[in-house]
Amino acid sequence: MKTNQAILTDQFKRKHTYLRISLTERCNLRCTYCMPAEGVPLSPKSHIMDYDEIYAIAKTFVENGVTKIRLTGGEPLIRKDIHIILGKLASLPVELAITTNGITLDRHIDVLKENNIKNINVSLDTLSEDKFKEITRRNQFEKVYNNILLLIEKGFNVKINAVLIKGFNDDEIIDFINLTKGFSISFRFIEFMPFDGNKWDIKKMVSYAEVLERVNNHFFLENVERIKDAENDTSKNYRIKGYKGSFAIISSVTNPFCDSCNRLRLTADGKLKNCLFSASESDLLTVFREGKSIAPIIQKAVLGKFKIRGGMDTLEKLKKPDLHSKNRSMITIGG
């Protein structure tokens, strides 16, 4: 397969080798930080990419230098044709990964194994059944927790994502890290980010610095090891000495990692987003359906990428609702 990174290199010389594809706008949970209580307006089914379109558009990215694809959503595993999508994408020369809320993982272990998917990120924001119900508006804690144990047993590389919200789950940081004592998992704390309809307030966010302070106070500085981050990693990684697993902090708000950003996002309705925080989108699906080349649209979108956080280069700008509320809800971007 020929690769040509030219169209995926932006004006700041960042090469975009990682594509996140959202497979659906729907979800079997209703996380408060991700979507408004009333739900989001859903695109008609005919506007959502089918499996052939997902494959063809993904192939164009791979031909132009993408080496990693992560499937997300909504909840990617609720797509009825997920086995076909996985099979098609697994035929491309890329590392394939998935981010899921974990509810139906037990039914998908075989198809994930068959398609050589090793890296699975599961979202879990609390270890309390009641709090799980409060944050996700659904009563599925046990299912998700047991499915995480199943993934570990089956030998997958498991990362757990928790969005930290002050007064809600910040008292669980140490409990989460204690899970890494016996399990070889990575627990990742995500700073709460603003999106349309998620009632974001910087006062609700638990920052990178605050997480580290709590961890250092509890485990003592000499036991908290900074470990090497993977290339283009968005997280800062740590380990408690002697623990099997590790933990990490994703500090998109207080300490953005835009300099090394290698990510592009394709929404379920076939729009390319050059940045998680950017409200602007480029319609690839319509152009693809017209039988035209999507490469020039991709190139234009990549060249238009801002240096920092979709142009919100200061915390002050990020705090302005008129800037971040133009962006979609996270459920329709995919994280």
Instruction: Choose among 80, 87, 153: nearest CA to 115.
Output: 87
**10 Å Cβ neighbour count for 93?**
10
Among 19, 34, 135, 264, indicate the residue that binds ligand SAM (CB under 6 A): 34
Nearest distance from C-beta of residue 18 to ligand SAM, angstroms = 15
User: Crossing angle, helix 208-219 and helix 173-182, to 10 degrees?
Assistant: 60
| CA distance linking residue 32 with residue 90, whole number of Å | 33
Beta strands in the chain, from DSSP E residues, in sequence order:
18-22, 68-72, 95-100, 119-123, 157-164, 186-191, 224-226, 235-240, 246-250, 263-266, 271-273, 282-283
Site for ligand SAM in 110-129 (CB under 6 A): 123
Q: Cβ distance 33 to 101 under 8 Å?
A: no
Among 27, 66, 212, 284, indicate the residue that binds ligand SAM (CB under 6 A): 27
198 binds, among ligand SF4, ligand SAM, none (CB under 5 to 8 A by kind): ligand SAM
Chain residues binding ligand SF4 by CB under 6 A are 27, 29-31, 34-35, 73-75, 101, 123, 331
Nearer to ligand SAM, 88 or 265 (CB): 265
261 binds, among ligand SAM, ligand SF4, none (CB under 5 to 8 A by kind): none
206 binds, among ligand SAM, ligand SF4, none (CB under 5 to 8 A by kind): none
**Is there binding between residue 64 and ligand SAM (CB under 6 A)?**
no
**Is there binding between residue 72 and ligand SAM (CB under 6 A)?**
yes
246 binds, among ligand SAM, ligand SF4, none (CB under 5 to 8 A by kind): none
Buried/exposed 101-140: b ≥16 CB within 10 Å, e otherwise:
bbbebeebeebbeebebeebbbbbbbbeeeebeebbebeb
Among 17, 32, 99, 278, indicate the residue that binds ligand SAM (CB under 6 A): 99
User: In what order do the strands lie in the sheet containing 235-240?
Assistant: 224-226, 235-240, 246-250, 186-191, 157-164, 119-123, 95-100, 68-72, 18-22, 263-266, 271-273, 282-283
Q: Which stretch binds ligand SAM (CB under 6 A): 45-53, 97-105, 152-160, 207-215?
A: 97-105
Nearer to ligand SF4, 199 or 241 (CB): 199
Nearest distance from C-beta of residue 65 to ligand SAM, angstroms = 24
Among 192, 208, 243, 306, indicate the residue that binds ligand SAM (CB under 6 A): 192
| CA distance linking residue 34 with residue 200, whole number of Å | 10
- Binding footprint of ligand SAM on the chain (CB under 6 A): 27, 33-34, 72-73, 75, 99-101, 123, 161, 163, 190, 192-193, 195, 198, 330-331, 334-335
